């Protein structure tokens, strides 16, 4: 692998790593506590108010669904980033 393609490979892995990390930590932002309480009440079949949940519930639910996808993207790109940093064969 020549140095130019190695640099491109590392850059591509780094570019994919950033959104993967952001998707992984996405559930931390926002009112996650309220979302988890709402979901727990729904699963426990407690009486729910008849109003529709606010938009933050749907945003946090989407973030909880996207979190494993981001973690997978982060792990795969980190693997390729580390793999592209070391030489394939010793030079003679």
pLDDT, one tens digit for every residue, the chain (92 residues)? 566 666 777 888 888 888 888 877 777 765 566 667 777 777 887 776 677 767 767 777 787 787 888 888 888 888 888 888 766 556 55
CA distance 34 to 45: 16
Among all chains, which residue has been given the structure tokens 């795969």? 76
Domain ranges across the chain: 3-85
**Do the Cβ atoms of 5 and 55 come closer than 8 Å?**
no
**Do the Cβ atoms of 10 and 85 come closer than 8 Å?**
yes
Alpha-carbon torsion 61, 67, 69, 70, what sign? positive
- Angle subtended by helix axes 3-25 and 55-85, to nearest 10: 150
Q: pTM for this one?
A: 0.58
**Do the Cβ atoms of 35 and 57 come closer than 8 Å?**
yes
């Amino acid at each position: 692998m020549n140095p130019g393609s190695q640099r491109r490979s590392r850059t591509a892995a780094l570019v994919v790593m950033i959104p993967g990390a952001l998707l992984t930590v996405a559930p931390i932002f926002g009112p996650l506590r309220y979302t988890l309480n709402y979901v727990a009440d729904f699963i426990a079949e407690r009486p729910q108010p008849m109003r529709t949940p606010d938009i933050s519930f749907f945003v946090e639910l989407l973030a909880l669904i996207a979190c494993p996808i981001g973690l997978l993207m982060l792990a795969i790109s980190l693997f390729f980033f580390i793999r592209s940093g070391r030489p394939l064969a010793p030079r003679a």
